Structure 1
Amino acid sequence: MVRTGLSALLVLGAWAGAGTLQASASDAVPSVAAPQASAGIITAMQRDLGLTRSQAETRLTAEKAATSLQGKARTAAGAALGGSWFDAGSGRLAVAVTDAAKAGAVRATGAEVHVVDHTERELNAAKHRLDALSAPSGVSSWHVDPRANTVVVNVVASERADNDVRAFVAQARETGLVTVKETAEAPQTFSAGTVGGDPYYTGNVRCSIGFSVHGGFVTAGHCGQAGGAVRGWDGSAIGSFQGSSFPDNDYAWVNVGSGWWTVPVVLGWGTVSDQLVRGSNEAPIGASICRSGSTTHWHCGNVLAKNETVNYSQGAVHQMTKTSVCAEPGDSGGSFISGDQAQGVTSGGWGNCSSGGETWHQPINEILNRYGLTLHTA
């Protein structure tokens, strides 16, 4: 690992999705400059998604256009909105509507249109009813899937026949909007016992630094409680947790002192080049995303779901974003980034970076708003 002055307060990145992007010249998409992605992100997308360099660059440009279009397209759909996502096949933002009469207005923004049966509001209401239930450990998570126009409940395959799981699923299906799927393992957080040469420690726990904010950095809440002291990779004092929430949420922030400072960079750990952070525009479902952690370094994948409730053994955590990126113990708190836009801090998941898995992150903008913080950008 390369230890430089900048490494003191840098974070890590996440996943991305495969697919060649092809949009015709007649598509009414806004003109968006190519994202200033580092060579490391391009390399990670090539490795993890099987893309060529040209395909990775084209995808990032298309995703940036889709991200900038989201607000306008969703507004055009109005009360008929069924959700939105990035379509890797077409390279465009897709928007679901329940009223075909709204299709023209949405298409005029440059987005694709899909007519569905249920509004996003109806699906979110159904998910909210599930959030009020007590879920057994065999139920791993649940979220709204706008592409399938349903609420997906994920059940650990080996626990499908458990009576408590069956009872939860039966209650969930009473909403009439639920689809049940199986997952290989139950989710877990990715903190780890103390080992040498990693970003920060609190007590006997090692986690990864998240994004720099003015006055400190953000990270995962399960890594430490308010008031807990934080030490850097070299053992010197950084500061302390100024706020922390877990479960229900999984975020925290640490102040910086003792000669440490903040920089708008996601650390490449000498494996890939460091990535500048230029903002926090939220990437849509289907977009590529990369994660960097102190254990597994850079990996990429796709955004699979948003506003997912994750049922950890310590309790449920809400409003999480699910990705197809792998992670391992020690990666907790590390950064998820899409292009040059901060997305969130690593919470937990299942699997590993040898056999694969899924990982959730707590969205960065929620953390900034909760504590009144300002992201440090280039």
Structure 2
Amino acid sequence: MLPTFAADDYIELAADLPATLQAAIERDLGIDPAQYLANAEAARAASDVATALRAQGVDILGTSIDGQDVTYNVADEADAALAEAAGAEVTVGPIELLDSGREVQPAQDHKGGYGYAYQVAEADETGSFPLSRCSVGFSGFDADGNDRYLTAGHCGVDEETGEQFTYPVHHIELSEPIWATEDWANEFPGPELGEFVPGSMHFGEQHDGGLVDITNPDWTGVPQVAGWAGGSGAPDENSVTIRGPIDAVTGAQACKSGATSGWTCGEILVPAQSTPVGAQDVTGFIFNACLLGGDSGGSVVVGNYALGVNSGSTHDGRTECDSWVPATGPDDTTGDFSIGYSLSTGEYNALTLLGSEWELSVAINTPQVTSPEDGGQTGPTPTFTGTVEAARSTHRVEVTVDGEQSYEGTIADDGTFSVAATEALAPGEHTYEVVATYGNHSRSEVASGTFTSTEVQAEALTVESPTNGQTTDNPRPSFTGTGQPGATVTLAVGDEVLGEATVAEDGTWTIAPSADLPVGERFDATVTQAFEGDSQVVTVSDLGITAAPVTITAPEDGSTVAGDVVFSGTAFAGATIGLAIEGVVTESSERVQTAADEWEGELVVGEDGSWTFTPAEELRDGEYTLTATATLDGGDPELTSSEASVSFTVGAEGDDDGGELPDTGSSNVWMIVVGVGLLVAGGVAIAIRARRGGSTA
């Protein structure tokens, strides 16, 4: 169900990671950067599958990953059955939570990971005023597309009063992470960046998210996280590009960026847990990367995907990470851990809380158009195909022809797209522009080119077999014909499409229906050819599929049987079975002649048309002929009506023992109804017809 990702496929991408981040990955996780990126893709795929399972009604309590082995925690056995049917490895019950008595302190303190500072109170009589600082989470947009970034909610709230700060936010100019120095405060206020979005700073009641507007026109938010030269260097060196959001997955390797300690990495221990952060409860993911005061609000990523923002940790006021001892799991009560406020995981997350006010900024690669070729030729309704590297089904693609007509389509999880023009273009040269999008405001660079539209003169569509009025006993006869090489030919009966084929280079095509055609009734089949805006239709009319003929399997023709013979045979589903018997009973001096009009017995016709008739009384010795007929109510008799006969002997041939015809007096059993009784020389001939549900009193 889940794909695996090879580290070798990520060597080139890993080389583009900041050198300091590569060092942090190797130092903190003990793996190479290529494996880190491969594992990040596996975590992203696990997150996507969890979302798909939830959409199918599975109650997913959490997701765990060990390397690339994924397990889903579900609520009960019914959920487990659904998830296992989809190919998932599951366990029933919640993921174990971290049980630690350690106190978690808020890490109070553009491009994610940058530091920002702000005044938190009015100046005193000496003219001095207290400052605070935090880190930027992720760049994004307000509803109108203006720059706005996500950070921790506690950064913008007075913890004593609960009031939101209204002082301006200032960018902190840094050449490396702050660590223990407070020299940044000597440069305050520095460049004014923007302001806290009124009413957006939420801290407590399980949330820790807030928004800051970038109002300084000198600054433009970008979908990146400060690189810190990969660890503790300059913030703009080797920044990390954000490709989209990701849910928390236990065991996934996560790295955080913050202005105090730069890059540090660890593993997610719990995907969602309520934890006291200072005096408030916050629900978020528990991970064991080092997080210090002032890192709050900074970015937490899994590979190139946005996981959440730094909320708090067990830093105990320390200003370095050397003494940080990462917790090893939920049962580790002494190790250090951090909490991140999730972008999208669980009930409490930033997109649920602030989604109407904020949209994540996502980097999108420029589309690579494979068709039509730049400067090439197409038919009047071209299909635009290509790839957008690293894009997924959360992205879309827009195609604009001649700057006027636009067409939109989705991108597959493998980054491919296909968008067809729905209106025929005039012959001649045209221009196109293709752009990939995410949400309402993230857009790629434009891929552009030209092509020439030509009039299509497609080869005529023909259907060579079957022909009008043709019948066959094959319920799935092949349709064959000729057409335009490369064209798509489809077969339909009514509104149901039953097959598709591409016309071969020699102009021939064949379609074998994907389901049985209607049996026993006349119908029309429609064959359609589509080729670059040209469409042709051929209707093959009055076709018929003949039903299977009725048979008599017992008694066999020419056989001698006992008088308690059970008659049986086959027909077709839905058939009405008729039976008729004629016979001459062996002569005797004390013959009893009965002109009965009913023959008692039980007739059973199965759903597949198989049938049996069991007479209520034995047949007397004699010579008989049995005739079976099959018809279909409302069907075409030419396609459904059939007849079969057998002759058989009851008793020893030439036996002179006297006898009489079956007594068919009153009975409350299922029976067949006699059509006519005939008296003939030397015996009695009786014609009988089967009728479902008939009975006599």
> TM class by shorter-chain length?
0.5 to 0.7
1:274 to 227, 239, 263: 239
Partner-residue secondary structure (3-state), 1:48: helix
Query: Partner residue of 2:2?
Result: 29
Aligned counterpart for 1:107 among listed residues 76, 84, 87:
84
Q: Which residue of 2 aligns with 1:202?
A: 118
215, 227, 243: which is aligned to 1:257? 215
Deviation track 1:101-130 (CA, whole Å, cap 9, x = no partner) reads: 65454234342122x3x4xxxxxxxxxxxx
Q: Percent identity?
A: 30
State the Cα deviation string for residues 122-169 of structure 1 (Å, max 9, x = none). xxxxxxxxxxxxxxxxxxxxxxxx334xxx47342xxxxxxxxxxxxx
- Aligned residue for 2:341? 362
1:236 aligns with 2:191: yes
Report if the CA contact (8 A) 1:45-1:56 is conserved.
yes
Write the distance in 2 (CA, Å) between the matches of 1:208 and 1:344.
Answer: 12
2:95 is equivalent to residue 147 of structure 1: yes
What CA distance in whole angstroms lies between the structure 2 residues aligned with 1:367 and 1:252? Answer: 8
> 2: CA distance between counterparts of 1:92 and 1:261?
40
Which residue of 1 is the match for residue 62 of structure 2? 84
User: Which structure features the higher share of helix residues?
Assistant: 1
Partners of 1:153 and 1:62 in 2: how far apart? 24
Equivalent runs, 1:88-237 vs 2, <5 Å: 88-89=66-67, 91-97=68-74, 99-100=76-77, 103=80, 105-114=82-91, 116=92, 118=93, 146-148=94-96, 152=97, 154-156=99-101, 185-192=102-109, 199-203=115-119, 204-214=131-141, 215-224=147-156, 225-234=164-173, 235-237=190-192
Runs of 5+ in structure 2 lacking a partner? 120-130, 142-146, 157-163, 174-189, 232-237, 325-335, 364-697
Alignment of 1:376 with 2:376, yes or no, is no
Distance 1:77 1:84 in 2: 15
1:285-364 to 2 correspondence within 5 Å? 285-317=250-282, 319-351=283-315, 353-356=321-324, 357-364=336-343
Pair 1:335–1:54, CA change in 2 (3 A): closer
Supply the distance in 1 between the matched residues of 2:27 and 2:51 (Cα, whole angstroms). 32
| Contact 1:250–1:347, Cα closer than 8 Å, also in 2 | yes
Say whether residues 1:65 and 2:45 are aligned partners: yes
* 1:326 shift after superposition: 1.1
Question: How many Å separate the matches in 2 of 1:206 and 1:306?
Answer: 27
Separation in 2, partners of 1:54, 1:238:
36
2:196 and 2:74 map into 1 onto residues whose CA distance is 43
Q: Distance in 2 between matches of 1:94 and 1:190?
A: 32
Instruction: Name the aligned partner's letter for residue 147 of structure 1.
Output: I
Aligned residues of 1:29 and 1:109 also touching (Cα < 8 A): no
1:238-278: CA deviations, max 9, x gaps? 11101212233222111112222101000012235211111
The residue type equivalent to 1:265 in the other structure is: Q
**Structure 2 vs 1, CA of residues 247 and 73 (structure 1 numbering), >3 Å: closer, same or farther?**
closer
SS for the counterpart of 2:228 is coil
User: CA–CA distance in 1 between the matches of 2:64 and 2:70?
Assistant: 5
CA distance in 2 between counterparts of 1:221 and 1:289 reads 21
Mapped to 2, the partners of 1:257 and 1:99 lie a distance apart of 50
What amino acid is aligned across from residue 353 of structure 2 in structure 1? R
Displacement after TM superposition at 1:98 (Å): 5.6
8 Å contact 1:245–1:251 — kept in the other structure?
A: yes
Kept in 1, the 8 Å contact 2:154–2:203? The answer is yes
Give the CA deviation at 1:358.
1.0
Please say which structure displays the higher CA radius of gyration: 2
Which stretch of the first structure deviates more once superposed, 344-353 or 203-212?
344-353
Instruction: Select the structure that is richer in strand.
Output: 2
Equivalent position SS for 1:250: strand
Partner Cα distance (1:98, 1:229) in 2: 47
SS of residue paired to 1:325: coil
CA–CA separation in structure 2 for the residues paired with 1:326 and 1:305: 16
Letter in structure 2 aligned against 1:201 = A
C-alpha distance in structure 1 between counterparts of 2:221 and 2:285, whole Å:
26
Whole-angstrom CA distance in 2 between matches of 1:247 and 1:103 = 34
Q: Give the partner amino acid of 2:201.
A: S
Q: Using the alignment, how far apart are the partners of 1:104 and 1:247 within structure 2?
A: 37
Cα pair 2:138 2:150 within 8 Å, conserved: yes
TM-score, structure 1 normalization: 0.67
Larger RCO: 1 or 2 (CA < 8 Å, sep 6+): 1
AA matched with 1:263: V
Cα distance between partner residues in 2 of 1:347 and 1:96: 25
Cα gap change, 1:53 to 1:262, in 2 (>3 Å): closer
C-alpha distance in 2 between matches for 1:67 and 1:153: 21
Are the aligned partners of 1:48 and 1:300 in contact in 2 as well (CA < 8 Å)? yes
CA RMSD of aligned residues (A): 2.6
Q: Residue by residue, what CA displacement relative to the aligned partner does 1:73-115 show, whole Å, maximum 9, x if unpaired? A: 345573xx462322215x132123465565454234342122x
Q: Is the 8 A contact 2:66 2:252 kept in 1?
A: yes
**45-54 or 98-107: which moved more?**
98-107
Q: Which amino acid aligns with 1:255?
A: D
One-letter code aligned to 1:189: P
The answer to whether the 8 A contact 1:282-1:341 is kept is no
How many residues in Structure 1 have an aligned counterpart in Structure 2? Answer: 282
Would the alpha carbon gap of residues 252 and 57 (structure 1) be closer, same or farther in structure 2, given more than 3 Å must change?
closer
- CA displacement at 1:65 relative to structure 2: 2.2
Write the distance in 2 (CA, Å) between the matches of 1:250 and 1:65: 27
2: CA distance between counterparts of 1:364 and 1:54? 25
C-alpha change, 1:287 and 1:209, in structure 2 (3 Å) is: same
Cα distance in 2 for partners of 1:74, 1:93 equals: 16
Please say if residues 241 and 254 of structure 1, whose CA atoms lie closer than 8 Å, have aligned partners that are also in contact: yes
TM-score in terms of structure 2 length: 0.38
